[in-house]
């Protein structure tokens, strides 16, 4: 990677930018706000709301389980949720000193999830994201978990950020296999994705502000070959200046970006994901939108295109998922601060794009909730998951929303689940159940059909 000589006032510019009264983005270290979700903890709703819908038939809570205390007197809070082969995996948040690792729940009886193990509980860090997949390489055969690791204190010399790999073939007895360290000076890997291309296995990382903190020597997005989990090897770093025509050293310093219309924006990698083939990557790059790469050759990706926003729309591309066989892109935008000079007044909402032509995404529709006044501070969307023609959205104190996207040009809200003190971070669909991670209270299991008995999750 060539060393870049960026604007000398990069960091100073960031501080000036944030001091000038811009909105506080939940993931913006320079906006002066607390980590996402913390500002909503303990929001009390008068009555938990459970609504059925034509798509899910019935959406009812069948279980609510808190996390065990793995350190005496310390209560960890949850991050994202993932499910695989009958087990749920919950990442943990930074509250109360972090170090909560990943919690594993046996979901044989969805009405009674049982926490059976934990792993990656690394002191001085927190573990938001976990992805689990089966892999088969000459170096490892079994179920592999990739876990994001972020430092609580970016300047702590005794903490390392990056990601850690575990063998979870036996989820009751996880075994560490390898660690990849982020050396950019950032906190580490915020979100990641584990993808398989035949005999090759890769982790894509989103290391917020790596580009900025390293002055262009390290990038926010890395593709790391983990075919041998004991020896992770970085094969590619994505530099938007090298791939996107409208991005250069003159208008981008790794964080501050002035777009082609002269609008001052923020751009950094927040999330990463691939399609089912593992050959197309989607980078949620805040105001740069969702960047689409062909990674058939993981060491030499090809830029295809990206989503864009109107001049008056705060970008904040946070996460994404695919629908309609990969021809439709669902993009969620996290905006906690709805008021910003020169922009529309709106909390973060969902945008739906036609990406049949990945070089030219076309906006089909937007989906906004109608509860802004009812749940102040929790009105931004967070993460999307698509299952069939139903879109599931986590909405912090707005709970879980279900949206019919049979016609992506006309999304319709069909159901909502809001528990008391709701603070829903992540959502994951597992057969006839929806799993939700509630930051303060743990794992929620929602039944999404009319069955009278919980049954089993495969």
pLDDT score recorded for residue 425: 94
pLDDT score recorded for residue 205: 98
Length of the chain: 458
pLDDT score recorded for residue 379: 75
Mean pLDDT of the chain: 86
Please tell me the distance from the alpha carbon of residue 240 to that of residue 229, in angstroms, as a whole number: 28
Please tell me the distance from the alpha carbon of residue 456 to that of residue 54, in angstroms, as a whole number: 23
Distances (CA, A) of 150 to 153, 222, 237, 285: 9, 15, 19, 18
Please tell me the distance from the alpha carbon of residue 97 to that of residue 368, in angstroms, as a whole number: 35
Which region, left, alpha or beta, applies to residue 316 given φ > 0 means left and ψ of -120 to 50 means alpha? left
- For 423, residues 6+ apart whose C-beta sits below 8 A from its C-beta are 37, 40, 41, 43, 378, 396, 397, 438, 439, 440, 441
- The two tokens of residue 346 are 């709106």
pLDDT score recorded for residue 452: 43
132-146 residue pLDDT tens: 999 999 999 999 999
Q: How far is CA 180 from the centre of its chain?
A: 19
Query: What percent of the chain shows pLDDT beyond 90?
Result: 70
- The two tokens of residue 236 are 């590619």
At residue 39, φ and ψ (nearest 5 deg) are -75, -10
Give the model's confidence band at 405: pLDDT under 50 very low, under 70 low, under 90 confident, else very high: very high
- The two tokens of residue 218 are 């390290």
Which region, left, alpha or beta, applies to residue 65 given φ > 0 means left and ψ of -120 to 50 means alpha? beta
Among residues 33, 35, 16, 15, which one has the least CA distance to residue 24? 33
Q: Is the pTM of this model over 0.85?
A: yes
Q: How far is CA 455 from the centre of its chain?
A: 29
329-343 residue pLDDT tens: 999 999 887 778 888
pLDDT score recorded for residue 113: 97
pLDDT score recorded for residue 16: 31
CB of 219 closer than 8 Å to CB of 235: no
Give the model's confidence band at 27: pLDDT under 50 very low, under 70 low, under 90 confident, else very high: low
Position 367 pLDDT exceeds 80: yes
CATH architecture of 10-45+63-398+422-447: 7 Propeller (2.130)
Which sequence spans correspond to the domains of the chain? Answer: 10-45+63-398+422-447
Position 357 pLDDT exceeds 60: yes
186-240 residue pLDDT tens: 999 999 999 999 889 999 999 999 999 999 999 999 999 999 999 999 999 999 9
pLDDT score recorded for residue 164: 98
Position 307 pLDDT exceeds 80: yes
Please give the span between the terminal C-alpha atoms of the chain, in angstroms, as a whole number: 44
Position 87 pLDDT exceeds 50: yes
Among residues 51, 63, 36, 54, which one has the least CA distance to residue 430? 63
More confident residue, 405 or 431: 405
């Amino acid at each position: 990677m060539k060393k870049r000589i960026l604007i000398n006032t990069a960091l100073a510019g960031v501080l000036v930018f944030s001091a000038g009264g811009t909105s506080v983005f939940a993931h913006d270290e320079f906006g002066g706000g607390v980590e996402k979700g913390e500002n909503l903890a303990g929001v009390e709703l008068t009555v938990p709301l459970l609504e059925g819908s034509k798509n899910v038939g019935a959406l009812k809570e069948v279980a609510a389980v808190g996390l065990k205390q793995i350190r005496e007197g310390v209560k960890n809070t949850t991050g994202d949720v993932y499910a695989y082969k009958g087990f749920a995996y919950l990442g943990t948040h930074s509250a109360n000193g972090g170090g909560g690792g990943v919690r594993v729940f046996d979901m044989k009886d969805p009405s009674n999830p049982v926490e059976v193990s934990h792993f990656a509980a690394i002191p001085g860090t927190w573990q938001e994201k976990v992805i689990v997949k089966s892999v088969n390489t000459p170096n490892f055969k079994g179920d592999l978990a990739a876990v994001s690791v972020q430092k609580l204190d970016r300047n702590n010399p005794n903490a390392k950020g990056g990601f850690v790999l575990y063998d979870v073939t036996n989820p009751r007895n996880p075994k560490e296999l390898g660690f990849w360290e982020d050396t950019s000076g950032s906190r580490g890997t915020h979100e990641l994705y584990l993808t398989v291309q035949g005999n090759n296995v890769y982790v894509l990382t989103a290391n917020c502000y790596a580009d900025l903190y390293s002055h262009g020597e390290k990038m926010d997005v890395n593709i790391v070959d983990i075919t041998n989990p004991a020896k992770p090897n970085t094969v590619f770093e994505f530099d938007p200046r090298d791939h996107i025509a409208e991005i250069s050293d003159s208008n981008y310093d790794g964080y501050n970006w002035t777009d082609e219309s002269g609008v001052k924006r923020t751009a950094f990698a927040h999330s990463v994901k691939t399609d089912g083939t593992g050959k197309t990557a989607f980078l949620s790059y805040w105001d740069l939108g969702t960047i689409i790469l062909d990674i058939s050759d993981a060491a030499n990706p090809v830029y295809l295109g990206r989503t864009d926003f109107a001049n008056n729309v705060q970008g904040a591309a946070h996460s994404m998922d695919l629908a309609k066989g990969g021809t439709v892109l669902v993009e969620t935008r996290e905006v906690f601060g709805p008021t910003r000079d020169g922009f529309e007044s709106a909390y973060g909402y969902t945008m739906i794009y036609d990406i049949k032509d990945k070089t030219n995404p076309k906006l089909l529709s937007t989906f906004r909730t109608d509860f802004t006044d009812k749940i102040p501070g929790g009105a931004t969307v967070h993460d999307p998951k698509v299952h069939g023609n139903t879109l599931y959205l986590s909405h912090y104190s707005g709970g879980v929303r279900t949206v019919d996207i049979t016609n992506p040009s006309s999304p319709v809200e069909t159901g909502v689940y809001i528990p008391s003190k709701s603070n829903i971070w992540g959502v994951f669909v597992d057969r006839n159940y929806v799993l939700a991670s509630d930051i303060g209270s743990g794992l929620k299991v929602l039944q999404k059909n009319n069955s009278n008995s919980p049954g089993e999750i495969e």
